[in-house]
Amino acid sequence: MAAEQPAKSLKSRADELEERLIEFSVRIINLSANLPKTPAGKHVAGQIMPSGTSPAPNYGEARGAESQADFIHKLRIVLKELNETSIWLRVIERSKNGEKRFASRDHRRE
């Protein structure tokens, strides 16, 4: 029975990761919906939506991989998409901080 415990733990960790990726996708959808409807906001939303929502289904595909090589390949795709999303999140954060800095500079000039 001791041999069954690690498999159960691995399965539950896999389920937990999948759930976390689904929640991440939902948060990306909500973030995208709240970006400004400007050309820049629409561009960023159009970039972050696919990269931020694909890791969950891609991870689901990896869990059903037909071989270890297929599993590794699919997980690498998940990682690439998460890395791209991380960059877009930093772009969003810096653009918001830039707006604040710009507004405070304009305020000091008045």
Question: What is the model's pLDDT at position 1?
Answer: 47
> Per residue in 75-108, pLDDT tens?
999 999 999 999 999 999 999 876 665 555 555 5
**CATH number for the domain whose boundaries are 4-109:** 1.20.1440.60
Instruction: Give me the residue spans of the domains in the chain.
Output: 4-109
| Residue 17 burial by Cβ neighbours in a 10 Å radius (0-12, 13-18, 19+) | middle
11 has pLDDT over 60: yes
Could you tell me how many residues make up the chain? 110
Do 74 and 62 form a contact (C-beta atoms < 8 A)?
A: yes
Mean pLDDT of the chain: 88
HSE-CB at 53 with a 13 A cutoff on CA atoms is 13
